[in-house]
Every structure is written in structure tokens, then in C-alpha cells.
Amino acid sequence: MSEQKIPYKIYLSEDEMPKYWYNLRGDMKVKPEPLLNPDTGKPMTHEELSVVFCDELAAQELDEDNAYIEIPQEIRDFYKMYRPAPLVRAYCLEEKLQTPAKIYYKFEGNNTSGSHKLNSAIAQAYYAKKQGLKGVTTETGAGQWGTALSMACSYFGLDCKVYMVKVSYEQKPHRREVMRTYGASVTPSPSMETEVGRKILAEHPGTTGSLGCAISEAVETAKNNEGYRYVLGSVLNQVMLHQSIIGLETKAALDKYGIKPDIIIGCAGGGSNLGGLVGPFVGEMIRGEADYQIIAVEPASCPSFTRGQFKYDFCDTGMICPLAKMYTLGNGFIPSSSHSGGLRFHGMSPILSQVYHDGYMEARAVEQTEVFAAAQEFARVEGILPAPESSHAIKVAIDEAMKCKETGEEKTIVFGLTGTGYFDMLAYQKFNDGVMTDYIPTDEDLAKGFSYIPDIPKNRE
């Protein structure tokens, strides 16, 4: 029990808290390809981005030089409400698994939004307020981002218009009500409120929507309303920047006790948590200072990394957003509505796509039934009821710990526990009742999605 000197939960003190975000691009040898204007095929300029994004966020989106960007004092003040997030040693899980591995998880669910999404929501709301805007528009899938943003907007007195993927809107009325309680307006997407929504509904009658559709609607609404800008909870470079607080805190907590992780695991939807958690560690790898096994875990039903193509594609289904070079299943890919997690975006963060392409990270696709089994096992011993998204990482952490059991290796495993599953109990019920199903797209399904990937701009492929 000599290890007990390492606390069950590692918290940073106020003066140990990061004062700068980490911008991985500053250290990357091969920078991610720039966002392109679909009309011109040329890189998006600050001026073009500022039509959609707040000025300062547009600048962050384009900054590939500065590895460290100061966190504004107002945001660090807000952090005091819910940060630092604890790095928890999963002693009970280790004992249950009888593994020699040491398992840690960075728990981001201990705030009212219930997930890591608040890290970027508060930053984006802050910059919108600073710019004197009236409000922001956004999309939400599982609802974590919309909840976080509605909280952040409520804090700063900003209006908040949320387009919620229809399948979630219907399956998760409680999420919707949380957002409404914080004063946000919530519209199921695709809707008849926007041109792009009406078009998508005409082309795909009865569709239950996708993040890609909802993004298109939110962007259109921001463009058409004076004093509004669009904000996005994942994929973007600025989001990876704000979420780097996760990895920076994790690294500081590990360093504080001289712990060197062997494996770092994050769940991957658009990349917000994964990028935030692994960014600082990948930076060390790039700078040649350390080596880690980094694993991205994605749902087999929406396998961007493991079965997608590394190409320029639209970030949205309506094809009104810029093009990004990323691992993508095609902007027309509409994932199975039977999947319960929020990891359903057709593409992946351009930064993480490049990191993966360059071999700093591996990826695994897992099926939802095994994910919920891992979630249940975790909940029963560690107490926390995990979000389905987070449970993808739990599943692979357990897999790796069981490998250690076989080999006897005492590896140190760190994974991101991004949030809580209070609003996912319908999915848990399916699992508890034994009626949860798995879905893996066929090659044909994928080919259909890939057919949406544009040929242009050929000159950059």
C-alpha cells in the first residue's frame, strides 16, 4: 500500500493550474491543411471566418504558430466553478479486474453540464460577449454541447439558439429541458426554419438528422441574424485549443507525482475530448521528449478514423461550411439512429486527422453493446455513471488492463472520462433489458457516404 501516498484523486492547487492553453499546431512538423473556401478553393481568411465566428476565435482557428496562448483571467475565474477536474486512480476497477496495470481517469463530468464540453463553451461565450454580440447559434447531438453552451450563455447573458439533431431531440427531451431551463431556444434539426433544413428534408424525407445537418442550420441562422455568430463544440482547431486544459491538467497531475503513463486513451467523435486530452502528450512525442501509446476509440457505427478517407470534405451536410482536410465518412453520411452515444459526426478534427495520419496515434472501433458492458462494470466499482461516449474509452482501457493481466506488465493507463450518463438512461435501459443492438455500416453504406466527398479542390489533394 506504499502507493497510497498518491491520493485517490489528484487535484491541482490554484497555483498549479495552467495559465496557457496548448496549441498543438505550434509544435507540429506537418501542419494540418488549412480550411478552404468552397467557392474559391483558397484558404479561408480571417475576414471570411469572422462572418461566422467571433473575431478572436477566428484568429485562434488560424493560429498555427503559437504553441501557448494565454487563458483570459475571466475564463480562469470561471474555471474556479468546476476546475481543476480530478485525475482519479481507479483502484476499485484495478482490483475488480485483478490487473497489475495502474489505471487513471481524468473525470470531466463534475460540472452541471455533465461533460468536458463546458471547457470550450465558456471560452466561446466569453469571446462572443467580449465582442458585444447578442447571441450565438449552435448544433447539438447527444446534447452535451448544447447544455454546456446554454449554461455558458446564461452566465454571460447571451442569447443561445440550439439546433438539436432530431433523433436526440425526441429521445432526450430531458436534455432539451435543461437547455430551456438555462434560457436557450431549442429546435429539432432538420427544421423548416432554415433554407438548408428545408432542402435536407426535401432530399431525405423522414430523416432523424445528423450533426452535419444541424451545423448547416446553425451556420445559416448565424449568418442571417445581426449580432449573432456560430459556435461549434468539436472538430475545430479553436476547440482543441480550449480543451487542451484537460491534457495540461492531466500532465501536471501526473508530473506532480512522477507518474509516467504508457497508454493514453480517449473517445473520438469530432475530437474535442481526445484532442484536449492527448494534445500535450502528442506535443512531447513530436518534440522527441517522450513516447506514449495513444489510442483513439470510436464507435464501429461511425468509424471515421478506422474506415474513413483522409480528404477534404465539408464540415456540414448542407455544404455551406468551409472544407477541411480530415478523416471523413462523407458529409452525406447519416449514422445509424440506433447508436446511443454522441460520437456521430461524419468527420474528425483536422489536427487529430493529421496526427493520426503521421502515426502518433492509433485508433480502434468498438461496438456499443460491449461499450455499455464496460460502462456498467465501471459504474458498479467506481461509482460514477459514465456517458456512453466516455464508455468507449473505458472499454479499451479495460481491454488494455486485461492484456497487462496476461503479460504481467504493470503499465500505467490514463483515459478520459468525459462525462456522466444521467441523460442516457434510455440507452442504459436497453442494455439492462438485453435489447441493445449493434450496428456496423457495410462497405456499401460507406461507399454511399464517400460519394458525397467533393472532388474539389483537386489541387490540394
Binding residues (CB under 8 A) for its own copies: these are: 7-9, 80-81, 92, 110-112, 114, 151, 154-155, 173-175, 177-178, 180-183, 375-376, 379-381, 383-385, 420, 422-423, 425-426, 428-429, 432
**CA atoms of 129 and 54, how far apart (whole Å):** 9
Closest distance to its own copies from the beta carbon of 151 (Å): 6
- Identity at 188, one-letter amino acid code: P
**CA atoms of 178 and 186, how far apart (whole Å):** 10
**CA atoms of 178 and 114, how far apart (whole Å):** 11
3 state SS of 44: coil
Q: In this complex, which beta carbon is closest to its own copies, that of residue 256 or of residue 403?
A: 256
Q: In this complex, which beta carbon is closest to its own copies, that of residue 407 or of residue 429?
A: 429
CA distances from 84 to 11, 69, 111, 198 (A): 6, 19, 11, 43
Reading the block at residue 228, the C-alpha cell is 449573432
Q: In this complex, which beta carbon is closest to its own copies, that of residue 21 or of residue 423?
A: 423
Closest distance to its own copies from the beta carbon of 64 (Å): 34
Closest distance to its own copies from the beta carbon of 8 (Å): 6
> Quick one: which H or E segment has residue 189?
strand 185-189
Closest distance to its own copies from the beta carbon of 240 (Å): 24
**CA atoms of 262 and 283, how far apart (whole Å):** 15
Closest distance to its own copies from the beta carbon of 39 (Å): 40
Nearest to 342 by CA among 309, 308, 298, 377: 298
Q: For strands 362-366 and 323-328, give the pairing.
A: unpaired
**CA atoms of 153 and 148, how far apart (whole Å):** 9
| Grid cell 488492463 in the structure block, residue | 401
132 φ/ψ sector (left φ>0, alpha ψ -120 to 50, else beta): left
> Quick one: which H or E segment has residue 353?
helix 350-357
Closest distance to its own copies from the beta carbon of 428 (Å): 5
Q: In this complex, which beta carbon is closest to its own copies, that of residue 175 or of residue 346?
A: 175
| Grid cell 462523407 in the structure block, residue | 330
Sheet of strand 135-140: strand arrangement: 185-189, 159-165, 135-140, 228-230
**Contact (CB, 8 A) for 160 and 138:** yes
Q: In this complex, which beta carbon is closest to its own copies, that of residue 111 or of residue 168?
A: 111
Q: In this complex, which beta carbon is closest to its own copies, that of residue 8 or of residue 257?
A: 8
> Quick one: which H or E segment has residue 364?
strand 362-366
Closest distance to its own copies from the beta carbon of 433 (Å): 9
**Contact (CB, 8 A) for 138 and 218:** yes
Task: Count the Cβ atoms, other than its own, within 10 Å of residue 397.
Answer: 30
Q: In this complex, which beta carbon is closest to its own copies, that of residue 182 or of residue 415?
A: 182
Q: In this complex, which beta carbon is closest to its own copies, that of residue 173 or of residue 227?
A: 173
**CA atoms of 350 and 347, how far apart (whole Å):** 9
Closest distance to its own copies from the beta carbon of 345 (Å): 25
Closest distance to its own copies from the beta carbon of 72 (Å): 17
Q: In this complex, which beta carbon is closest to its own copies, that of residue 46 or of residue 80?
A: 80
Q: In this complex, which beta carbon is closest to its own copies, that of residue 242 or of residue 311?
A: 242
Closest distance to its own copies from the beta carbon of 336 (Å): 22
